[in-house]
C-alpha cells in the first residue's frame, strides 16, 4: 500500500518511488552520500521521501535545523525508536527516548566535561606512543599502510583504556582476548552499517535488524564486572570513563558542566546555543545501575572506535594529497612544540590551523551522513506552513549540506582555511553539523576532537604522510551504510628529517 501524495498534499515536493521500496533498494545500491547530494540538488532543502509507505520529511535549511534541534527540542528530542530486545543494550544512551534518555544524558554529559577530558588526555598519550612505534616500523620498511588499520588500532586501544580500563596494543597483540572480541564484534555480528543504527537507525528500521551476539555482550559485561570488583576491593581509582560512570550515581548533584559550557575544543563543531534549548533541562536522576555502566561503556566503544579512526584516516589522506596544507600544519605544530616543549591538551585547544584541518576533514568527509528526529506531537514547521503529524520522521542530510557550493564554494576541494574564524562567521552555524546539533548532539564530540587533534599533532611531529601508487584520487566507499566508510586508505609515512 503506497502513501504517495502525502507530502504533495501538504505542499511539499516529494521523491516518488517508481516501484515499491525503490527508495530502499536505491540506498542499498548507491552510496548514501551520493544519493543525498543528488536529491539535494534536485529537490532542494525541504522535501518528502518514503521509506516503504512511511513518509519522511527531509530538512536541510539551517534555520529550520536550528528550530528542530534546539528551539523546539521538546518536540524533537528522540530519534526513531530502536529497541534491541536486550535489557543491557537497551540502556545505551543513543537508543533511549523521552525521560529515560534525559536521565541517562544528565548522568553521562558531565563525564565529557573539559576538566575530565584533560585528565583523560594522559591516557591517550600512551596509545599515541604505540601508534608512533607502529608507524615507525612501517616507515623504516617503506611499507604502504592502510590508514584505517593503523588508526583503527589506535582508536581501539584508546577506547579500551578510556572506557574499559584495559591497556592493549591491538596492532601488535591481535590475540589479546579484548582485541579478539572487539574484532569479532566489528567484523561479524555488528557490521558497520548496523553500527550507525546506534546514532541514526535508518537502516535498522528498514531491515528490522536485531543484532549483537549475547556472547560478545557477556564478554564485555564480564570484564567490566571484574574491573569494578578489582577497583572496589583495592580502592583503586583511574581517570577513565568507567570510573566516571561508576562515580555518577554517587555524585548526583555534581556538575552538569557539559550542557552549560563550551570551550576552545568545541570550536567550529559546537554551536553556542547548544544545550540551552528552552524546554530542556536535565531532570532528576534516578538510580544508576551497574547495567547502565556496562551498557554505556559498551556504547562508547561501539560509536567511538570507527568514527574517530575514519576521521583520522581522512585527515591523513587529505594532507597527503595537499602537501601545502600539511606543511602549514607542521609549521604550526613545530612552533607550538618549540614554545612549550611538547603538545598537550591545553595547546591543542589553541591551535587554529589544526582546528581548521580537522573541521575541513569532517566537512569533506561527513562521517555521519544524516541525522534523525521524530516529532512527539503534531507540529507546524516554522513559517513554512507545513503541518507535521505526531510520529513523523525528520531526516537532516548532513553530507549534502556540507557539500552545498553556496556555503562551501568548490565543495570537493580540501581547503582548511574555510574554517578560519573570519570566514566561519559569514556562514550559518547550522550549515556545519558533523556532530549533530542541539541537546541530542554527539555527547562524545569533545573526546573525539581531543583524541584526533592530539594524535595528529603528535604524529606530524615525527612523520609526513605521502601519497603513493596505491593512493586513489577519489576514495572508494562502502554502499548501504549511514556512515561514510572508505574501503581502504593506502598511504606511505615518511620519517621527518627536519626535526
Ligand atoms: C569523529 C568522531 C565522531 C563523529 C563524527 C560523531 C558523530 C555523531 C553524530 C552525528 C551523532 C548524532 C547526533 C545528533 O543526532 O544530533 C552522534 C551521537 C552520539 N555519539 Fe558521536 N561521533 C563521533 C565520536 C564519538 C565518540 C568518540 C563517542 C564516545 C566516546 C561518541 C558518542 C556518541 C553518543 C553516545 C551519541 C548518542 C547521543 C545521544 O543520543 O544523546 N561519538 N555522534
Q: Give dist(CA 9, CA 16) in Å, integer.
A: 13
Kindly report the protein residue whose alpha carbon is nearest to atom 11 of ligand 1: 442
Using the mean position of ligand 1's atoms as its centre, give its distance from the Cα of residue 491 in Å. 27
Ligand 1 atom closest to Cα of residue 79: 15
Cell output for 4: 504517495
Helix or strand holding residue 381 (H, E): strand 379-381
| Residue 273, pLDDT score | 59
For residue 155, which atom of ligand 1 is closest to its CA?
27
The pLDDT assigned to 417 comes to 98
d(CA 476, ligand 1 centre) in Å: 24
94 lines ligand 1 (CB under 6 A): yes
Ligand 1 neighbourhood includes 371 CB (under 6 angstroms): yes
Q: Is 459 in the pocket of ligand 1 (CB under 6 A)?
A: no
Sign of CA dihedral 443, 449, 452, 454: negative
Q: Which of 144, 146, 152, 147 is nearest to 169 (CA)?
A: 152
- 448 CA distance to ligand 1 centroid (A)? 9
- pLDDT in the model for residue 227: 85
Q: Strand 371-374 relative to strand 463-466: parallel, antiparallel, unpaired? A: unpaired
**And the C-alpha cell for 268?**
567550529
Q: Which residues of the chain have pLDDT under 50?
A: 1, 188-194, 201-210, 252-260, 262, 275, 278-280, 282
Model-level pTM? 0.90
Give the three-class secondary structure for 144.
strand
Ligand 1 contact via 93 beta carbon (within 6 Å): yes
| 415 Cβ contact list (under 8 Å, min separation 6) | 360
Cβ atoms within 10 Å, residue 105: 20
Report the SS3 class of residue 207.
helix
Backbone φ and ψ for 141, nearest 5 degrees, come out as -90, 0
Q: Which atom of ligand 1 is nearest to the CA of 108?
A: 35
CA distances from 263 to 77, 123, 234, 257, 288 (A): 24, 21, 35, 11, 28
| Residues 6 or more apart whose Cβ sits within 8 Å of residue 392 | 55, 56, 57, 374, 375
Q: What is the dihedral of CA 98, 103, 105, 111, to 10 degrees?
A: -170
- Give me the pLDDT at residue 80, please: 84
- Residue nearest to ligand 1 atom 3, measured at CA: 307
Q: What DSSP assignment string belongs to 180-198? A: HHHHHIIIIIS-HHHHGGG
User: Does residue 220 contact residue 142 with C-beta atoms inside 8 Å?
Assistant: no
What is the C-alpha separation between 79 and 280, in angstroms, rounded?
Answer: 16
Q: How far is CA 406 from the centre of its chain?
A: 25
Q: How far is 24 from 19, CA to CA, in rounded Å?
A: 11
Residue nearest atom 23 in ligand 1 by C-alpha distance: 307
- Which alpha helices (H) appear in 265-409, and where do they start and end? 290-321, 323-340, 345-348, 352-364, 398-402
- Residue 115: phi and psi, rounded to 5, are -60, -45
Q: How many angstroms separate the CA atoms of 223 and 179, rounded?
A: 13
Q: Is residue 122 packed enough to be buried (19+ CB in 10 Å), middle (13-18) or exposed (0-12)?
A: exposed
> What distance in angstroms lies between residue 435's CA and the mean position of ligand 1's atoms?
6
Contact 356, 461 (CB under 8 A): no
* Upper half-sphere CA count for residue 5 (Cβ side, 13 Å): 3
Name the residue of 435, 483, 485 whose CB sits within 8 Å of the most ligand 1 atoms, as the mutation to test its pocket.
435
pLDDT score at 303? 85
Atom nearest to 95 CA in ligand 1: 40
Ligand 1 center to residue 363 CA distance, Å? 15
Residue nearest to atom 28 of ligand 1 (CA): 444
Nearest Cα residue to atom 9 of ligand 1: 435
Distance CA 320, CA 31 (A): 24
The pLDDT score that the predictor gives to residue 27 is 66
Q: Is 399 in the pocket of ligand 1 (CB under 6 A)?
A: no
Residues 160 and 174: their CA atoms lie apart, in Å, by 14
- Nearest alpha carbon to residue 113 among 238, 223, 275, 224: 275
Q: How far is the CA of 153 from the centre of ligand 1 (A)?
A: 19
- The residue nearest atom 43 of ligand 1, judged by CA position, is 442
- Check if 440 has its Cβ closer than 6 Å to any atom of ligand 1: yes
Ligand 1 atom nearest the C-alpha of 162 is 30
Sign, Cα dihedral of 142, 148, 149, 155: positive
Is the CB of residue 237 less than 8 Å from the CB of residue 231?
yes
Question: Does residue 368 line the site of ligand 1, with CB under 6 A?
Answer: yes
For the residues of 438-454, what is the DSSP string, one character each? GGGS-TTHHHHHHHHHH
Task: Indicate the SS3 state at residue 406.
Answer: coil
The set of residues, in sequence order, having a beta carbon less than 8 Å from that of 486 and lying 6+ positions away, is: 148, 310, 313, 314, 475, 476, 477, 478
61 contacts 386 by C-beta, under 8 angstroms: no
Strand partners, 313: none
Amino acid at each position: 500500500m503506497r502513501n504517495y501524495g502525502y507530502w504533495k498534499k501538504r505542499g511539499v515536493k516529494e521523491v516518488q518511488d517508481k516501484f515499491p521500496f525503490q527508495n530502499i533498494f536505491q540506498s542499498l545500491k548507491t552510496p548514501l552520500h551520493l544519493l543525498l547530494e543528488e536529491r539535494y540538488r534536485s529537490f532542494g532543502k525541504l522535501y518528502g521521501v518514503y521509506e516503504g509507505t512511511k513518509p519522511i520529511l527531509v530538512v536541510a535549511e539551517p534555520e529550520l535545523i536550528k528550530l528542530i534541534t534546539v528551539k523546539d527540542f521538546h518536540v524533537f528530542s528522540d530519534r526513531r525508536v530502536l529497541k534491541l530486545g536486550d535489557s543491557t543494550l537497551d540502556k545505551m544512551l543513543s537508543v533511549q527516548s523521552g525521560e529515560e534518555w534525559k536521565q541517562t544524558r544528565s548522568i553521562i554529559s558531565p563525564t565529557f566535561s573539559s576538566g575530565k577530558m584533560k585528565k583523560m588526555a594522559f591516557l591517550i598519550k600512551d596509545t599515541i606512543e604505540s601508534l608512533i612505534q607502529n608507524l615507525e616500523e612501517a616507515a623504516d620498511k617503506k611499507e604502504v599502510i592502510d590508514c584505517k588499520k593503523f588508526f583503527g588500532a589506535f582508536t581501539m586501544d584508546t577506547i579500551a583504556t578510556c572506557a574499559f580500563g584495559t591497556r592493549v596494543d591491538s596492532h601488535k597483540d591481535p590475540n589479546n582476548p579484548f582485541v579478539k572480541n572487539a574484532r569479532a564484534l566489528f567484523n561479524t555480528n555488528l557490521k558497520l552499517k548496523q553500527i550507525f543504527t546506534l546514532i541514526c537507525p535508518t537502516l535498522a528500521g528498514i531491515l528490522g535488524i536485531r543484532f549483537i551476539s549475547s556472547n560478545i555482550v557477556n564478554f564485555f559485561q564480564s570484564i567490566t564486572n571484574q574491573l569494578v570488583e578489582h577497583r572496589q576491593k583495592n580502592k583503586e581509582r583511574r581517570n577513565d570513563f568507567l570510573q566516571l560512570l561508576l562515580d555518577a550515581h554517587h555524585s548526583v548533584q555534581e556538575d552538569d558542566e557539559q550542557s552549560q559550557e563550551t570551550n576552545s575544543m568545541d570550536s567550529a563543531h559546537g554551536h553556542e546555543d547548544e544545550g540551552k534549548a528552552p524546554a530542556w533541562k536535565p531532570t532528576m536522576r534516578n538510580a544508576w545501575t551497574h547495567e547502565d555502566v556496562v551498557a554505556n561503556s559498551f556504547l562508547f566503544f561501539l560509536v567511538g572506535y570507527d568514527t574517530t579512526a575514519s576521521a583520522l584516516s581522512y585527515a591523513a589522506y587529505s594532507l597527503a594529497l595537499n602537501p601545502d596544507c600539511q606543511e602549514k600544519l607542521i609549521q604550526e605544530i613545530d612552533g607550538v612544540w618549540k614554545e612549550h616543549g611538547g603538545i598537550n591538551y591545553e595547546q591543542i585547544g589553541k591551535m587554529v590551523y589544526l582546528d581548521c584541518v580537522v573541521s575541513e576533514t569532517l566537512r569533506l568527509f561527513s562521517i555521519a551522513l544524516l541525522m534523525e528526529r521524530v516529532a512527539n506531537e503534531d507540529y507546524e514547521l516554522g513559517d513554512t506552513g507545513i503541518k507535521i503529524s505526531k510520529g513523523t520522521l525528520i531526516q537532516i542530510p548532513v553530507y549534502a549540506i556540507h557539500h552545498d557550493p553556496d556555503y562551501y564554494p568548490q565543495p570537493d576541494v580540501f581547503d582548511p582555511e574555510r574554517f578560519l574564524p573570519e570566514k566561519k562567521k559569514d556562514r550559518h552555524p547550522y550549515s556545519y553539523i558533523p556532530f549533530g546539533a542541539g541537546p541530542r548532539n554527539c555527547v562524545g564530540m569533545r573526546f573525539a576532537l581531543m583524541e584526533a587533534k592530539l594524535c595528529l599533532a603528535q604524529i606530524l611531529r615525527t612523520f609526513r604522510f605521502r601519497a603513493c601508487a596505491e593512493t586513489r584520487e577519489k576514495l572508494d566507499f562502502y554502499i548501504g551504510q549511514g556512515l561514510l566508510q572508505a574501503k581502504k586508505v593506502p598511504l606511505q609515512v615518511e620519517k621527518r628529517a627536519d626535526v
